Every structure is written in C-alpha cells, then in structure tokens.
Amino acid sequence: MSPTTWVGPAYRIIGQRLRVLSGPKSTYIRTPYEINRVEVRHFLRGATAGLRRAPPSTTMASPLRKFLLKSSSGDVVIRREMKRYKSDSTTKMQIIIRSHEPIDKGLYWDLPPDTRKIGLPTRRHLFTVLKSPFVHKKAREQFHVQSNKQMLVMEAKRHELSKKFFWLKRQRIFGAQFEILFSFKTRLDKEKLQKIIQPGLKDAFEDNKVEEQSVMMALNSLAQEGFYTDAVDVSLNSIESSLPANNNGSFPHGLALMLRSVPMEALKARIDKEGSKAVSTRLIEKFILSNPHRPTVEVQPDQEKASRYELGERERLEKLKRSMTEEDLAELTRVTRDLRLKQDTRHTPAALKAVPSSSLQSIPRKPMQVPIEVGDINGVKVLQHDLITNDVLYADIAFDMRSLKLELLPMVPLFCQSLLGMGTNDLNFVELNQLIGRKTGGMSVYPFTSSKQGSKDPVSHIIVRSSAMSASTEDLFNLITCVLHEVQFTNQKRFKRFVSQSKATLENQLRDGGHGLAAARMNAKLNHAGWIAEQMGGISYLEFLKDLEGKIEHEWSEISTSLEEIRKTLLLKKSCIVNLTSDGKNLKRAETYVRKFLDLLPSTSPVPASTLNAQLLSKSEAEAITIPTQVNYVGNAGNIYESGYQLKGSGYVISKYISNTWLWDKIRVGGGAFGALCDFDTRSGVLSFLSYRDPNLLKTLDVYDGTSEFLRQLEMDDDTLRKAIVGTIGDLDSYQLPDAKGYSSLLRYLSGVSEEERQARREEILSTRSSDFKEFAGFVDAIKDNGVVVAVTSQNAVDAANQERSNFFQVKKLGL
C-alpha cells in the first residue's frame, strides 16, 4: 500500500533494528526507540530519497550544469554542484519530477510557454519489515512505494530563470523531488587559460600546463554547442562597423575588400536559423577534431639553451679553424676584406639614376588639409571634422592631466586599463565589453604625452577613442558615460592581472624592442614630456609595477582609493576636449548627445588642486640597463634646440637621410645589427640615434660620434637631394583614413601646431639645399659632446665596455 495511506497499531522494532529491503540489497538501521507507523512512513520516504542515485560529480569542464532541487511541503531547496560561467544565451532546462502521487494531478498551474512534457517509466519499490524476533521472527509486513516520474523540457534565457523557479514553487506536489538539469555552454577556465598563454609570465609552464584533452574538450564544446550568442553578436557588429570605414590596418587590403563582398544579411539569416553553431563549428569539426593527421606540439622554454648553443657554436668554429691551413686563413681574410670594401662602396650615379622616383614638380605645394571647426558646447571645446565616413561617427575625448598629483602618475595606465577591464554595479567586465562590442565599433582608453611646439610645458591627456554607426550615437555616449563614471575599482584579482600583464609586456619589450625603452629613458633626461611618458611606460614604470605587484594583497584599499582619486581629479568638464569626425548631418545630430554627456561631467573636483611638475633624470653618465640578452640596443641623444638650432624643414630631410645612408651602411650593413635609425622630435628638439639587435656597443657609439664628420664631408648631387626630399614628403603625406585624419588633427591642436606652421615647414622641406647638411653638422656635434647615452645590454658586454673605457657605463640591473 502507499505510505501516505498507511494505518495500523503501533509496535516495537525487534532487536532495535529496522530492516528495509530495497531490491537485491538490504539496509539495517539500529534504533532503541519505539516508533509508530507514521514515523516509519516518513523514514521510508527519506530512505527512498536517499537511495536515489545522485548525479556524478566531475572536475572537468562540461556542457551540463547540474542542480538538485528537493521539495518538502512545497519548499524548494537548490544545491549547485558546479559553478559555471554565466551566459545570456538560450538555456535548456530539464526538470525531472519524482512523486508518489500522480504528477499530472499535482500540476495545478498551466505549463509555461515553450515547454515539452515527456513521460518516464514508473518504478515500484517493495519494503519488508520484520515484526518480531525469536519465535515470531518469520512474521513480517510488506509495503511498497510507487515512484512516478515525468520530465519537463523548457527553453529559457538566464534572466527568465527566476520566473521558471517561481512557477515551480507554486506546484504543491506533496513528497515530490525535483532534479533540474541546466544545459549551458562552457569552455576552459578563461582565467587559467589566459594566465597560461599570457606571454612573458615567467615559469607559467611549470604550474599551469594545458593538457591536450582539455583543449579538445573546449573545441568539442564549440563544435557541438557553438559559440556564445553574445560573442557572435559582438563579432557581427564589429565587422559591420569596420566595413564602412575600410580600415583594415595591417590586414591585406585585397582580403579586406573580399570581406565586403560577404552578404551580411544572408549570414545573419543563417545564424538566426542555425544559431551560433553556424559560425566556424563545421571547420573546427573537419580540420581539427576529425582530422586524423592533427599534430600535437608541446613547447617549453629552456633557459640554458642559449648558453649551450653559444658554447657549441664556439667549439665548432674553433674546430674549423684548427682544420684550416695558413693558406685557407689568408684566403678567408682576403674574402672578408673584399666584402667589407664592397659594403662601404657607394653606388655609382648611373646606377642610382636607374631607380625610378618622383620629381619635385609633381609634389603638391600644400599639406593635406583636414576641415576643422572649433566650437563650444556647455563651455567645452568641441572640434568637428566634416569628412565622408560612410555613416560612421568617430568620437575622441581628451582629459587634461596637468592637475594630477605626481605620485599618482604611474597609476594612470592601470587606471585606463581598469575602466574597460572592471565592471559596474550592474554589469561585470565581460558583460560590459560585450555591450560595447554590440553597440559600438570599439572603445579604447590610454594616456597621451607630447611636447608642445614652442614651449617647454608638456601636453599630457587621457584619451577615450570610440566609434559607432550614426544610428547608435546615443548608445555610444551612454556607454562612454557608463565607463567613465560607473566602473567600480573593487576587483582586486583583475587589477593584479593588469599589473602582471603590463609588467610582462615591458619585460618582453626590453628583450625584443629595447631601443624603444632606451629612447624613452633618454627623453626622460632631456625634456619634461619625455619624463612623464617614461613614468607611464618606461624603465621607471617597470620598476613601479614590480613594487606595486607585491603591495596589492596588503594595500588594496589604498590602491583602490588612488584609482578613484584619479577619476575625481581628471574626469572633469573643465579639462575636457571633444573631437568628432563624420559628415555634416551626423555631426549636427551628435551635438545633442554630446551636450547630455558633458552635462553629466562634474564641474569641480573634491580633490585639492595640484600641479604635475616633471623631475628630469640625471644625464651625467652613460647608463647601461642590463638584462639576459645576446644583443644590444644602443641609444645616443641630445637636445639641439639648447645648442641654438632653429627649426627648419630641412631638419626632417637630414635626419631621414642619416638613417637611410650613414647609419644603414655602418651599423646595419657593416656592423651586423638588425637596424638603426635617426629620429628628430621637432616639438622637443631631441635628436636621437638608435640601433636594435646590435652585436656591437662601443663601436656603434663611435659611429654616432662620426655623424657630424659624415655630414661635413658629404657631397650631394641634385638627384640624390631630390630623392631625399621626395622620401621625406612621402612620410608626411602618408595615406590616412577619415578616423586617422580627425585624430591627427586633434593631436596637432593639443600640441599647438597650426596650419600656417605646417605650410611653412613644407616649403622649407621642398627648398632644402646641400649646404643645409653641412650647417646641421655643427648641432650634431652637441650630441657627441653633451648628449646622453642609454644602452640595453648584457652584463658581459658592459664589463667589456667598462674595461675598454674606464667606468664608462653606470650599470642599472633589472633582474629579469
């Protein structure tokens, strides 16, 4: 009989033992108490619930989320077995109901929409209870429990789950059990995977190893379930936003044009019909999962490989030299001498004339003009550029940094990263970036620093760059407001990752592009803007990150307060400049939303006003930054404005000519370096010489010192001078898309470069004479006499250089 209708007299459990038979196995439970049959009834109900097989637990990522919901007197209890990444995509919810009563009679409320009902087999469990031991030990009483099962399959969005649970709570099915299976799309743990593949994180391979099985599980999940719906929507919007702009960057232009031929409407219709599985899942299945020739390569760094390779190479060369005769060595010396002679020999005028080039008459006499209208909205400068952008609006917003406290300066790059890398009260950082991807063409926040034309005062701003289709202009400025005002600096774990990533990026840059950090270090010794930039992206910034990484755990509240103070200090209406690029009607429409955006900016800051005063680094001695490396990055620079040089357009031509001839021949061809360059910052007056991946150190500095003599002895014919001028104009007139034109115009406005000055410099470039090169040599001498030297090199190279020139370098160890 059913336990809910069980009646009869009370009895004592013989031997303090109740035997419950369930199938082939028996369960004995000892108890010293006398119970009535109502208590036994409840026990049997609990026993049958406990005998139900629980869903197996797992430690791997699975597309199945499992929850167990039990109902006792109508109350629903949820136990989540595994925590998974939340998604707004469609979720399949399977509800398995077990009840001793007929389930259809217990469903008092209509089923929700999009719900299917599936009947499952009914099970009958028999239980035998011994009534008495000893003489009456064979006396027993039998009972049965009938379990009815039914499955409900629902389709629901994540935000609709609360409604489904509310419907479930209203079902008063006495003694029923509910097992609910949620089918979500899951992947590998993104945080762990990001930590593993993040370049530059030392020893990541020792603690975090990606197994092939884990990767294949993630790919199989993609193939079976498709990509996240939000990710697909973001990708589609990004493609649609980039196609009108035709801005393919370094991507091959022909392939970019081919993408424009893809029928986007047909692709959208296919995705609507097949879901996210319509995107690349068949390719994953065909070329990776089902590919019998798929190789697996495991790569691990070996810190001793470079030294072993160098030792082996030295042994091979010594063995080869011992095997050579005196005649062989003499022949090798002769061949080497002839090769160097050919490298130093310049091409004949006849050979140079064979190279086609443009004439000076074919070059436009005026620089490329960008239409600009400087207006005012709510007391804020607004620059508008009326250009054809194919219905795309480009918005750049700059905030002046001059009122920032000096000690907060190194925190600015992390502040910019946190604005897009942390969430708000309502959105986590993933949802925020997905929303930006769906509504806009992208958004970035970063600091910008430059010298100002004709002034020693630096120009330093935080710039927010963004774009969107004109129909989404309101969404664009709403999202900018959300990012600037609503992001919460409370995610300590994310911030620590930003610090680790920034540190790893700079460490990689030291090894692979140390000439950039050497240039930043030299600029920090020569001008105020260079010092500010170096504090936010140079060696000083790297040292700051190393120190900050150890403080995050113990001083997070102070760090979070510093980030909030930067926001309150800089993101003000009085320090804001807005730059818009689009066609006239879109610019007019955007003014309404710009006005609303500016109204939400604070007019004053609660933080006391401060002044960003730069403190230049010492330039008394040559500086060597030592890291484990086989090559050198050698820099030498000086401020020629301090030597009396007045800016002329010929300076552009001369600096480019030095790079393409003198430095190329002596350092690249003759010295074996990967490259060398001469850079002239016309705003600050800093003239820099740089080499990268250079096997030499002091020899390269000797080449730099010989630049002035090279210019004095230079004899140029008209054809060589013409080619130098044409090459310089080619750099100035490089092709720009509308967004780059508007942004370049903003930077010129911030740096104080007028159109009249641009026209004057262009005329000076076109009228450059050979005598200008000889005059420039005197100012280059100032670099040899009073310039600064910074080299990123190895400790062995520094020791050899200091032995050749007594204590020439002051060593700075970074300990990578």
Tell me the per-residue pLDDT of 774-788, one tens digit each, with 9 for 90 and over.
999 999 998 988 899
Please say if the pLDDT value at position 264 is more than 90: no
Q: What is the pLDDT of residue 71?
A: 37
Please say if the pLDDT value at position 200 is more than 50: no
CA–CA dist 145, 283 (Å, integer): 52
Assigned domain for 351 exists: no
**pLDDT class for 619, splitting at 50, 70, 90?**
confident
- The one-letter code for the residue type at 54 is A
Q: Does one domain contain both 594 and 637?
A: no
- Lowest model confidence (mean pLDDT) among 37-51, 408-422, 604-618: 37-51
Q: Does one domain contain both 629 and 669?
A: yes
Higher-confidence residue of 8 and 559: namely 559
470 secondary structure, DSSP code? G
pLDDT, tens digit, for every residue of 725-757? 998 998 888 888 889 999 999 999 999 888 999
**pLDDT class for 793, splitting at 50, 70, 90?**
very high
Q: Which two tokens stand for residue 336?
A: 């080497």
Q: What is the pLDDT of residue 109?
A: 55
Assigned domain for 659 exists: yes
Residue numbers of the domain that contains 50: 3-183
Contact 336, 704 (CB under 8 A): no
Please say if the pLDDT value at position 637 is more than 70: yes
Please say if the pLDDT value at position 605 is more than 90: no
Q: What is the pLDDT of residue 197?
A: 43
Q: Does one domain contain both 661 and 758?
A: yes
Assigned domain for 72 exists: yes
CA–CA dist 34, 18 (Å, integer): 11
Assigned domain for 376 exists: no
Q: Does one domain contain both 649 and 593?
A: no
Beta bridge partners of 691: 634, 676
Assigned domain for 307 exists: no
Q: Does one domain contain both 238 and 118?
A: no
Q: What is the pLDDT of residue 159?
A: 62
Contact 619, 504 (CB under 8 A): no
Q: Does one domain contain both 410 and 445?
A: yes
Mean pLDDT of the chain: 79
Higher-confidence residue of 64 and 282: namely 282
Q: Does one domain contain both 701 and 586?
A: no
Q: Provide the CATH number for the domain around residue 467.
A: 3.30.830.10
CA–CA dist 399, 381 (Å, integer): 11
Q: Does one domain contain both 539 and 622?
A: no
Q: Which run of H or E residues covers position 731?
A: helix 718-732
Q: Map residue 374 onto helix, strand or coil.
A: strand
Q: Does one domain contain both 197 and 118?
A: no
**pLDDT class for 431, splitting at 50, 70, 90?**
confident
Please say if the pLDDT value at position 117 is more than 90: no
Assigned domain for 314 exists: no
Q: Does one domain contain both 7 and 144?
A: yes
CA dihedral (422, 426, 431, 437) positive or negative = negative
Distance between start and end Cα atoms, the chain: 77
Assigned domain for 370 exists: no
Q: Does one domain contain both 628 and 573?
A: no
Beta bridge partners of 813: 626
Assigned domain for 525 exists: yes
- Lowest model confidence (mean pLDDT) among 124-128, 494-498, 544-548, 683-687: 124-128
Q: What is the pLDDT of residue 171?
A: 64
For the entire predicted model, the pTM comes to 0.69
206 secondary structure, DSSP code? H
Beta bridge partners of 142: 128
Pairing of strands 632-639, 788-793: antiparallel
- Residue 781 half-sphere exposure toward CB, CA atoms < 13 A: 10
Q: Does one domain contain both 522 and 648?
A: no
Residue carrying the six token digits 């010929």? 650
Q: How many domains does the chain have?
A: 4
How far CA 573 is from CA of 120, 249, 385, in Å, comes to: 66, 33, 21
Backbone angles phi, psi at 638, to 5 degrees: -160, 160
Contact 425, 488 (CB under 8 A): yes
Q: Percent of the chain scored above 70 by pLDDT?
A: 78
pLDDT, tens digit, for every residue of 283-338? 888 888 888 888 888 777 777 887 888 888 889 999 998 999 989 889 988 988 88
Please say if the pLDDT value at position 812 is more than 50: yes
Please say if the pLDDT value at position 97 is more than 70: yes
Pairing of strands 686-694, 675-681: antiparallel
Which of residues 556, 571, 599 is at a domain's end? Answer: 599
Q: What is the pLDDT of residue 106?
A: 57
Q: Which two tokens stand for residue 754?
A: 């007028």
